């Protein structure tokens, strides 16, 4: 069994559910009250992926626009990211390119694997961002990259746990594939 440490990030606008996704993945209960992340928060957890014992260092980067100038310092060394939007709030989807560009600009490695997450799938309505649109966007990013990463899209719900462990595992597998 190989031990691997991966610094990953949760990125996206404020109140899209980044902290809730991290908490759910860490085995904690869903919190109904939103507490704004200031700067960044991180936690660590272990996950077995194939023949690897992966120690995830998960950086939950604040999504408020007032923290933009502070964020660049947290990106250094990030090997991959879960880029999150709220499927019920179209502007959070439209801001995805900003988050991805910021990550690739400041991480010190350029393009790194990302998984796009449409969170709050339990709240989907007719006015939500269509799943097909988000999948197409992920395909467009993948086609435009100079690196051979698989960019995936998953719908998640931190509240009910939909695809939460799968998202982290998928990101871990993609990072491990690229560093092997």
Which of 59-63, 95-99, 115-119, 148-152 comes out lowest in average pLDDT? 59-63
Rounded to a whole number, what is the distance in angstroms from the first to the last CA of the chain? Answer: 14
Q: How far is CA 25 from the centre of its chain?
A: 12
Residues 6+ apart with CB under 8 A from 106: 71, 72, 75, 76
Which residue is associated with the tokens 């988000």? Answer: 134
**How many CB atoms lie under 10 A from the CB of residue 93?**
22
Whole-number pLDDT of residue 62: 77
Whole-number pLDDT of residue 84: 98
Q: What is the largest CA-CA distance in the chain?
A: 46
Whole-number pLDDT of residue 25: 95
Segment 30-52 shows an average pLDDT of 76
Phi, psi of 177 (to 5 degrees): -60, -40
Q: Which two tokens stand for residue 158?
A: 């931190």
Predicted model pTM: 0.92
Angstrom distance (rounded) from CA 177 to CA 180: 5
pLDDT for 74-111, tens place per residue?
889 999 999 999 999 999 999 999 999 999 999 999 99
Burial (CB count <10 Å: 0-12, 13-18, 19+), residue 54: buried
Per the DSSP assignment, residues forming a β-bridge with 45 are 56
- Which domains can be identified in the chain, with CATH numbers? 2-179 (3.40.50.300)
Whole-number pLDDT of residue 42: 79
């Amino acid at each position: 069994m190989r031990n691997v440490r991966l610094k990953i990030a949760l990125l996206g606008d404020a109140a899209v559910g980044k902290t809730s996704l991290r908490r759910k993945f860490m085995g904690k209960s869903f919190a109904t009250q939103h507490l704004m992340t200031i700067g960044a928060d991180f936690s660590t957890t272990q996950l077995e992926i194939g023949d690897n014992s992966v120690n995830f260092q998960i950086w939950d980067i604040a999504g408020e626009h007032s923290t933009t100038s502070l964020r660049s310092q947290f990106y250094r060394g990030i090997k991959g990211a879960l880029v999150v939007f709220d499927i019920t709030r179209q502007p959070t989807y439209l801001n995805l390119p900003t988050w991805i560009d910021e990550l690739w600009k400041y991480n010190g490695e350029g393009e790194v694997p990302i998984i796009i997450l449409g969170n709050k799938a339990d709240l989907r309505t007719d006015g939500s961002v269509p799943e097909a649109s988000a999948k197409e966007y992920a395909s467009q990013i993948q086609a435009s990259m100079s690196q051979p990463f698989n960019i995936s899209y998953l719908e998640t719900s931190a509240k009910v746990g939909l695809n939460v462990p799968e998202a982290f595992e998928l990101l871990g597998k993609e990072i491990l594939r690229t560093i092997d």
